[in-house]
Structure 1
Amino acid sequence: MTPAIRRHTISTAYSVCGGLTRKAARNFYLAFLLLPAEMRRSIYAAYAFSRRVDDIADGAAAPPRKQVLLDRCRQDVHRAAKGSARRWDPVSVALADAMVRHRIPAEYLLGLIDGMEMDLRVNRYSRFDDLFQYCYRAASLVGLICIEIFGYRGAEEARRHAIDLGIAMQLTNILRDVSEDASRGRIYLPSEDLARFGVSEEELRGGRSSPEFRRLMAFQVGRARTYFRRGRELLPLVDPAGRLCVQTLGAVYIRLLDLIEAREYDVLSSRVRISSPAKLRLALGAWLGAAPSW
């Protein structure tokens, strides 16, 4: 253990990450509670770091300052891969311990930073292939980090399905947040799809859903469900201790798609949300061994 690690005890560092996760991880926290304690705290460290990177990209700082902060995060990853950490930073301390403990490749975390960095310079995606690359970096790499913590068999097959599940979840986030993102100048829906269905960017900011927009959204939901079907194949490959967490996360996100469909794809007038009791029911269903709903 390095002097930097000793300055902030590992147990304290994990406790801080747990508090950050409990406060910020609205759609994840209940699923994380299904994990064994040691596995859960490593997930907290990974989440706290990814949340930090995401908050930098979405924050109010000027782009040059954001770049400086993201570069600092890269330095933290390089240190963590060697079992070291920035002084007095609990997230870095916990991340270093988790990376070494679970042999998490540094390239996963560095790629995640690259994904958040895309939000500093890219606010439109011409084709789905371009959006796929963003989703891979922003979400699939998180899935790859998670299965290193959970344990898995099947090597490349498991990693492929973890990528699929990450794509599905990020596409769902994008569909839920169309209006909010558009108001911030970001259009994640591919331009080729907007043109195909006759939907303008102005409509995304307007708060009213046209028949054309609903058809566009139906297509996007179908695409997300395709990736969920592929991602579901990860479940039998993940070690049992982590399987309930994966199952619950998938169920929560599928529920978001169900709610989008139920309101006839109107995500422009208000944000789609899952109530806390509904999330609890989904988590309880996984814990009781209910068949996956996705």
Structure 2
Amino acid sequence: MISTELDAAGVREPSLRAAYQHCRTVNAQHGKTFFLATRLLAPRQRPAVHALYGFARGADDILDDFDARTNEERADQLQQLSTRLFNSLVENRSGDDNPTLTAVVDTARKYDIGWDLFDDFLASMRMDLTVTDYPDRKSLERYMYGSAEVIGLQLLPVLGTVGPREEAAPYAAALGKAFQLTNFLRDIDEDLSRGRVYLPADELAAHGVDRDMLEWCHTNRRTDQKVRAALAEQHAITRAVYEQARPGIDTLAPSSRPCVAAALTLYSGILARIEAIDFEIFGRRATVSKPRRLAVAVAGIGRAWANRIRYGSV
């Protein structure tokens, strides 16, 4: 299957093929929902998506792996990653042996993905080294632009659009934001373990909730009633962002619509699951069941093949 994808994408050189294979493996191991959705893309599109995922995952691992590294060491690793990407992508220097960088640079050149989107992403990653709370939505939005919205913008040229890319861009950014807001709710317990809270403090305070109360929930593995009300409000805000993003599916190339529709369905399914368990997300992880994931995938495969036959996409 990977050989078919690489052949369709025109990737011939052995070391480059190995680099893309590495990114695909990373995606399959660590981004199961996302990887499942990528199966609905045309084979020629998949290697680029795996490369973009692999790069983002590598940066995230620098920050979030539980180990003995200091923040200074993590900051240095992020800077090294940024410098190596800049040297390869912008300065056209060769010789970097990092397979993820090799694949993502090739993807960026092939699809004309600008350095600025990677730079903005890395800027938000650096924020995680020093910022542990967000006083209001404006400050959280600033973080999410680099950490989530630019991911949608990076993917947009790979997915393709039926009109000018700038018309589809706000929807792509909104979908990236919706996915991350879902993660913030699902992973609040895990994020507290890392000393971070990705919810606006002033909006929590309106329900009488502060970090100490969240820490109490984390320690006692249950959701206080005030916290439940605060999370319900965040849930509603996230649901509204999904609805903002949904019309953007029709701005994409037909061959890409089943994949993005499936991703939206699966991620919003996580949001629905959070509500279904009554926001008891301390000590348990809200997930979409395997049968549901497979059902969405099967339906998406049918639409994907129909679109490929109709529009001649491969």
**Deviates most, 6-15 or 121-130:** 6-15
Match of 1:69 among 77, 80, 85: 77
- Which residue identity does 1:226 align to in structure 2? A
- What are the superposed Cα offsets for residues 88-143 of structure 1, whole Å, 9 maximum, x if unpaired? 22111111211111001111111111111111010000001111111121111111
Match of 1:88 among 75, 93, 97: 97
Structure 1 outlier segments of 4+, above 4 Å: 82-86
Within 5 Å, give how 1:32-181 maps onto structure 2. Answer: 32-59=38-65, 60=67, 61-82=69-90, 84-152=93-161, 153-181=163-191
Q: In the aligned structure 1, how far is the partner of 2:264 from the partner of 2:55?
A: 22
Query: Taking structure 1 as the reference length, what is the TM-score of the superposition?
Result: 0.91
Q: In the aligned structure 2, how far is the partner of 1:35 from the partner of 1:49?
A: 19
In structure 2, the partner of 1:3 is: none
In the alignment, does 2:286 pair up with 1:277? Answer: no
- Which residue identity does 2:30 align to in structure 1? A
- What are the superposed Cα offsets for residues 154-202 of structure 1, whole Å, 9 maximum, x if unpaired? 4322111111111111110000011111122111111101210011323
In structure 1, the partner of 2:34 is: 28
Is contact 2:40–2:300 with CA below 8 Å preserved after alignment?
no
Is contact 1:252–1:279 with CA below 8 Å preserved after alignment?
yes
1:37 partner SS: coil
Is contact 2:84–2:96 with CA below 8 Å preserved after alignment?
no
Q: In the aligned structure 2, how far is the partner of 1:40 from the partner of 1:249?
A: 14
Q: In the aligned structure 2, how far is the partner of 1:263 from the partner of 1:154?
A: 41
Number of aligned residues: 285
Q: In the aligned structure 1, how far is the partner of 2:175 from the partner of 2:51?
A: 21
**C-alpha spacing 1:54/1:115, structure 2 compared with 1 (3 Å):** same
**Sequence identity of aligned pairs in percent?**
30
Query: Taking structure 2 as the reference length, what is the TM-score of the superposition?
Result: 0.86
2:61 partner SS: helix
- Which residue identity does 1:112 align to in structure 2? F
In structure 2, the partner of 1:184 is: 194
Q: In the aligned structure 1, how far is the partner of 2:13 from the partner of 2:276?
A: 52
Q: In the aligned structure 2, how far is the partner of 1:136 from the partner of 1:23?
A: 26
1:197 partner SS: coil
1:69 partner SS: helix
Q: In the aligned structure 1, how far is the partner of 2:111 from the partner of 2:88?
A: 12
**Deviates most, 56-65 or 173-182:** 56-65
How far the C-alpha of 1:287 sits from its partner, in A, is 2.6
Q: In the aligned structure 2, how far is the partner of 1:164 from the partner of 1:87?
A: 34
Q: In the aligned structure 1, how far is the partner of 2:158 from the partner of 2:13?
A: 25
Is contact 1:256–1:273 with CA below 8 Å preserved after alignment?
yes
**C-alpha spacing 1:128/1:85, structure 2 compared with 1 (3 Å):** farther
How far the C-alpha of 1:33 sits from its partner, in A, is 1.2
In the alignment, does 2:242 pair up with 1:233? Answer: no
How far the C-alpha of 1:85 sits from its partner, in A, is 4.7
